[in-house]
Amino acid sequence: MLTAALRDLQWRRRRFVIAVIGTGLVFAMTLVLTGLANGFNVEAQRTVNSLDFDGFLIKEGAAGPLIGSSPFPQAEVRRGSLPGVSVAEPLVYGSTTVPEGDSQQNVNVFGVPDDRPGMPTIVDGRPPSSPREIAVSNTMGRSVGSDLDIGSHQLRIVGLVDDSTALAGQANMFLTVTGAQQLLFSKQPLISAIGLRGTPTRVPAGFRVVDRAGAVDDMVRPLRGAKQAITLMAGLLWVVAALIVGSMIYMSALERIRDFAVFKAVGVRTRSILAGLAMQAVVIALLAALLGSVLSVALGPLFPMRCDIPTEAFVLLPVLAVAIGLLASIAGLRRAVTVDPALAFGGP
């Protein structure tokens, strides 16, 4: 029966190829959507890790040290009031826009110390050391030594940070704390958080500490709605894949009614017939999964947002493809079970 099932696929190879390509495209888009949703977390994780702090001291009631921050005067917290901490550095965060051709590009602004921890690794140039200097992500396509206009401020790019983005592809920019205060807070000595190395044994009244995971959650919070929508679309695509494979198997079952009747008339067990149909569905789904994996790698970089497809998704795809193949074959299986062996002796 398995040989007969493979011969049937060969006989209907055009329909078989179309089903594999169609299902493969669906699987590819499912992987890409998974990569886009995962990219939100990867961006946030990379950004927070690049600051190289263990935790952040923020105002009580603030949602987080970055997007959900509540600025406070830097003088409110002194280094000596944080026992158990080896490093306590001011951190400023905000967002603004920079010109990009005839339009504006959203960017994330960080005010950090000009040496680590705080300042991410500079891959070209050097860290900014004055309020008029800035380091930017190399995804912006800017070069060291060029000027960058932000509102009424003109800043000199002195360094580049490798692939530093957040919030669905928005570039990160890094200034000194004073430079960020001038740009974001009209020169007021306000900060968004205090970056910590170590864990304080006592936290000043009106403040609390969040770890790196809390900072990552703070960065991805605005994207939760988009992530849920992408996840929903991925789920719908799994249904579409099952329908494509199911329609292929069902049409094959309808066209092979006489074959099934002959098999039953000569004593072939029903479960063997069902195994042949199920194998056809699984073969289609597995080949489509292979094609989808290759296409997803090619399509991912074409999207304007970061697409990081997790390794687990590639490992899980064949398993889900087999499950979809078996599920999709149910319609054809039911049709094969109800075939009357007497049809084998009927006329044309």
* Residues β-bridged to residue 133: 156
pLDDT tens digits, 287-313: 889 999 999 999 998 888 889 999 998
Show Cβ contacts of residue 273 under 8 Å, excluding neighbours closer than 6 positions. 1, 260, 263, 264, 336
Find the angle CA(242)-CA(248)-CA(250) to the nearest 5 degrees.
95
Question: pTM of the prediction?
Answer: 0.80
126-136 burial by CB neighbour count: b if 16+ within 10 A, else e? ebbeebbbbbb
Arithmetic mean of pLDDT, 185-210:
90
Provide the CB-side half-sphere exposure for 345 (13 A, CA). Answer: 6
Please report which confidence band the pLDDT of residue 10 belongs to, taking 50, 70 and 90 as the band edges: low
Q: What confidence score (pLDDT) does residue 146 get?
A: 93
Helix/strand/coil for 309: coil
Arithmetic mean of pLDDT, 325-336:
68
Please provide residue 242's backbone torsions phi and psi, each rounded to the nearest 5 degrees.
-65, -40
* Residues above pLDDT 90, as percent of the chain: 46
Q: What confidence score (pLDDT) does residue 70 get?
A: 92
Mean pLDDT, the chain, as a whole number? Answer: 84
**How many Cβ atoms sit within 10 Å of the Cβ of residue 151?**
9
Q: What confidence score (pLDDT) does residue 220 get?
A: 93
Choose from 17-21, 238-242, 265-269, 309-313 the range with maximum mean pLDDT. 309-313
Q: What confidence score (pLDDT) does residue 103 get?
A: 85
Helices 224-255 + 13-51 axis angle, to 10: 160
CB 127 within 8 A of CB 158: yes
Arithmetic mean of pLDDT, 133-138:
95
Q: What confidence score (pLDDT) does residue 266 get?
A: 59
Please report which confidence band the pLDDT of residue 5 belongs to, taking 50, 70 and 90 as the band edges: low
Please report which confidence band the pLDDT of residue 158 belongs to, taking 50, 70 and 90 as the band edges: very high
pLDDT tens digits, 163-172: 999 998 899 9
Q: What confidence score (pLDDT) does residue 12 get?
A: 65
Q: What confidence score (pLDDT) does residue 339 get?
A: 61
Find the angle CA(136)-CA(137)-CA(143) to the nearest 5 degrees.
65
